[in-house]
Amino acid sequence: MLYRTAGQFKTSYAADHALFPVRQDAWLLGVILLFAFVIFPLTASEFTFKALLTPVLVYSLAALGLNILTGYAGQLSLGTGAFMGVGAYACFKLITIFPEMNVLVAILASGFFSAAVGVAFGLPSLRIKGFYLAIATLAAQFFLVWLFEKWAWLCNYSSSGSIQVPTVEMFGTPVFGPNALAIVQYYFVLGVVALITIAAINITRGRIGRMWKAVRDMDIAAELVGINLMKAKLSAFAVSSYVVGVAGALFVFLWRGAAEPVAFDIALSFRVLFIAIIGGLGSVLGNFLGAILIVALPVILNTLPATFGIPISSAMVEHLNTMIVGALIIAILVIEPHGLARFWQIIREKLIMWPFPH
Amino acid sequence: MDVRNVSLSFGGVRAITDISFDVKVGEIRAIIGPNGAGKTSMLNVINGFYTPQEGTIWFHGKERKGMRPHHAVRQGIARTFQNVALFKGMSTHDNIMTGRSVHMHRNLFWQMLWHGPALAEEIEHREKVEEIIDFLEIQHIRRTPVGKLPYGLQKRVELGRALAMEPSLLLLDEPMAGMNLEEKEDMSRFIIDVNRQRGTTIALIEHDMGVVMDLSDRVVVLDYGEKIADGTPDAVKSDSRVIDAYLGVAH
């Protein structure tokens, strides 16, 4: 009823290529954006920004980066955490070497470093695929974290070996560091994430996106329709690592405030991979759904029992969280391998048909 | 196109031994032979998937050396597969659009912006794709993921994807395998129309002799990697070596 498509006709290919061929989708997105840009900032507390909103956006972006590589181009990667680290360290070096650099430029530029590293570690993908490639990217993960620990130049020889985010202003407002307001940081992250998401949607629905999907679905056939496999795979690694690197820079500079090399270890890679899998491989929307679930779950587990007066220790929350996430991953892999995004797709199709079954 | 003295072997197994034949512009050329005769290997050699140990391939009067399949596509050679090789996660429309990748050039920057040149290019090629969709009568499955389609339609989509490359030479590997009579008739019609309307040269492998004899202008017959006959369908049909190869020889 709400989703009736009757009466919406396309008279040109341009209209048919619109992002939302169905008008209701555009309205729905409008409502979500209204919440993200106006209602949440007006109502959220400092805690909500720090524990929910900003992390959801950062993880969504990281998962989007991984999804471009794994979901669209079909190249499995376990090195996401380390590529996020490359972005974070690159951003740190940029703002300490060029203190007058605009922070937005610094964040967006740091992605290029991780893109270069990503391409270098993507070279094995030209020869190996599947699990063997995953192992090769795992090597990147361990090597890069080791490098972050051993190469003191990266953290400006700080005695703790971690990066401390200095206070940096943009247009007179502190954006980085302890003095920055959570709402400013939220808007900054929201802007960057929105920008990159739009770009990612556009890439994935155009020629390059089709090239990646062709390589994912059948690489031999892709080569025989004239796709240069080397270009397709390496471009996927470059774009993916760029997005992941920017997410890493946001992760440290606009959320955590400080980071040790250990923050980028394999646990982070797996968390991002879980978000991508739960959300749905090969979908942009899924990353956001997955991130909301993974970030919100521990917060809900923390607050919900307390509101009902059930005593629950923080260790128990941690255990429960791990168990539920584990169970969810298994359940989703069994029930719907395309994740939450596919669930939404099915619901939407049913709504369009409703009340008829076909 | 001209195949001259091509031999191909995998280790000790000789797949193709010293085969020469030519394909003239605008004709339908059939390659037939019993199972394991080297027909598919021959196609793989032609479109650059295998590099022959001996012999040369001449295309448009030029010799081709050590090439990759995507180069072959750029030169105008497209093919379909014996077992359907579509991109299963994509819709019919996207599969055929992928076939046009070679003709599309907007780079990453324009793709990111989408509006403007990238969209204009997309629409320009969409029109070409719609022509092919109309031609193959698959309008109703335009948005369906190809993994959900029945086999006969998948074969048709695959032909569409090959046509989207606008080849001058189209290689069809058993386009009618596993089809019923009606689907075969449809497919034969499409092959003839492609040949007549678009002027595409076609080289096809097929086991259904009725189809081969009706469709093709000339036939080359392979057996155990060797050429045993070459000529018009009628000449090949009455060739004693061909009859022996297919029916066996009394011991």
pLDDT for the residue numbered A182? 84
Task: Please name the residues in contact with A150: beta carbons below 8 A apart, sequence gap of 6 or more.
Answer: none
pTM of the entire predicted model: 0.88
pLDDT category at A19 given cuts 50, 70, 90 is confident
Interface predicted TM-score of the whole assembly (ipTM), two decimals: 0.85
Highest mean pLDDT among A13-22, A85-94, A293-302: A85-94
Residues of chain B with pLDDT under 50: none
Verify whether the Cβ–Cβ distance B126 to A235 is below 8 Å: no
| B196 belongs to a structural domain | no
Write down all domains in chain A, each with its CATH number in brackets. 21-265 (1.10.3470)
Which residue out of A64, A216, A224, A284 would a mutagenesis test of the B interface target, given it has the greatest number of B Cβ atoms within 10 Å?
A: A224
Which residue of A202, A222, A226 is in closest CB contact with B111?
A202
- Residue B251: domain span: 1-71+201-251
pLDDT for the residue numbered A246? 95
Distances in whole angstroms, Cα of residue B107 to Cα of each of A195, A201, B118, B122: 18, 15, 8, 12
Higher pLDDT pick, B239 / A255: A255
Cα-Cα-Cα-Cα torsion A148, A154, A158, A159, nearest 10 degrees, comes to 30
pLDDT for the residue numbered B66? 65
Instruction: Tell me how far apart the alpha carbons of residues B246 and A297 are, in angstroms, rounded to a whole number.
Output: 68
Specify the DSSP class assigned to residue A38.
I
Residues making up chain A, counted from first to last: 358
* A-to-B residue pairs, Cβ atoms closer than 8 angstroms: 104
Decide: B27 and B83 in contact? Cβ < 8 Å: no
Chain B residues within an 8 Å CB radius of A14: 119, 123
Complete DSSP assignment for A191-257: HHHHHHHHHHHHHHHSHHHHHHHHHHH-HHHHHHTT--HHHHHHHHHHHHHHHHHHHHHHIIIIIIS
* Residues A158-176, mean pLDDT to the nearest whole number: 79
The angle at the Cα of A229, spanning A272 to B87, to the nearest 5 degrees, equals 75
Residue in B with minimal Cα distance to A74: B89
* Residues A231-250, mean pLDDT to the nearest whole number: 94
| B129 belongs to a structural domain | no
Instruction: Tell me how far apart the alpha carbons of residues B73 and B93 are, in angstroms, rounded to a whole number.
Output: 20
Where is A190: in which H helix or E strand?
helix A182-205
pLDDT category at A67 given cuts 50, 70, 90 is very high
Verify whether the Cβ–Cβ distance A17 to B119 is below 8 Å: yes
CA distance between the termini of chain B: 39
Residue in A with minimal Cα distance to B98: A210
Instruction: Tell me how far apart the alpha carbons of residues B12 and B9 are, in angstroms, rounded to a whole number.
Output: 7
Q: Is the dihedral of CA B51, B52, B54, B59 positive or negative?
A: negative
pLDDT for the residue numbered A163? 83
Q: What is the CATH number of the domain that holds B18?
A: 3.40.50.300
pLDDT category at A110 given cuts 50, 70, 90 is very high
pLDDT for the residue numbered B228? 83
Specify the DSSP class assigned to residue B228.
E
pLDDT for the residue numbered B116? 79
Chain A residues within an 8 Å CB radius of B86: 217-218, 221
Higher pLDDT pick, B108 / A238: A238
| B232 belongs to a structural domain | yes
CA distance between the termini of chain A: 14
| B92 belongs to a structural domain | no
Reported as a single tens digit per residue, the pLDDT across A307-355 is: 887 777 878 888 888 888 888 888 888 888 888 888 888 888 888 887 7
pLDDT category at A82 given cuts 50, 70, 90 is very high
pLDDT category at A85 given cuts 50, 70, 90 is very high
Decide: A145 and A264 in contact? Cβ < 8 Å: yes
| B109 belongs to a structural domain | no
Q: Is the pLDDT reported for residue A228 higher than 80?
A: yes
Task: Please name the residues in contact with B173: beta carbons below 8 A apart, sequence gap of 6 or more.
Answer: B39, B40, B43, B79, B80, B81, B82, B204, B205
Residues making up chain B, counted from first to last: 251
Instruction: Tell me how far apart the alpha carbons of residues B83 and B175 are, in angstroms, rounded to a whole number.
Output: 9
Chain A residues within an 8 Å CB radius of B47: 224
Highest mean pLDDT among A34-43, A46-55, A102-111, A156-165: A102-111
Verify whether the Cβ–Cβ distance A206 to B118 is below 8 Å: yes
Backbone angles phi, psi at B86, to 5 degrees: -90, 170
Instruction: Tell me how far apart the alpha carbons of residues A247 and A143 are, in angstroms, rounded to a whole number.
Output: 20
| B50 belongs to a structural domain | yes
* Residues A123-144, mean pLDDT to the nearest whole number: 88
Reported as a single tens digit per residue, the pLDDT across A172-216 is: 777 787 777 888 888 889 999 999 999 999 998 888 999 999 999
Chain B residues within an 8 Å CB radius of A209: 111
| B231 belongs to a structural domain | yes
pLDDT for the residue numbered B250? 67
Q: Is the dihedral of CA A282, A51, A164, A147 positive or negative?
A: negative
pLDDT for the residue numbered B54? 82
Verify whether the Cβ–Cβ distance B114 to A221 is below 8 Å: no
Verify whether the Cβ–Cβ distance B69 to A239 is below 8 Å: no
Chain B residues within an 8 Å CB radius of A208: 108, 111
Instruction: Tell me how far apart the alpha carbons of residues A341 and A18 are, in angstroms, rounded to a whole number.
Output: 20
pLDDT for the residue numbered A307? 80
B191 by DSSP, 3-state: which? helix
Chain A residues within an 8 Å CB radius of B111: 202-203, 206-209
Amino acid letter, residue A322: T
Q: Is the pLDDT reported for residue A1 higher than 70?
A: no
- How far does A220 lie from chain B, in Å, by closest CA? 8
Instruction: Tell me how far apart the alpha carbons of residues B158 and B81 are, in angstroms, rounded to a whole number.
Output: 8
Number of domains present in the structure of chain B: 1
| B240 belongs to a structural domain | yes
Reported as a single tens digit per residue, the pLDDT across B151-173 is: 888 988 999 999 998 888 899 98
Decide: A141 and A283 in contact? Cβ < 8 Å: no
pLDDT for the residue numbered B60? 81
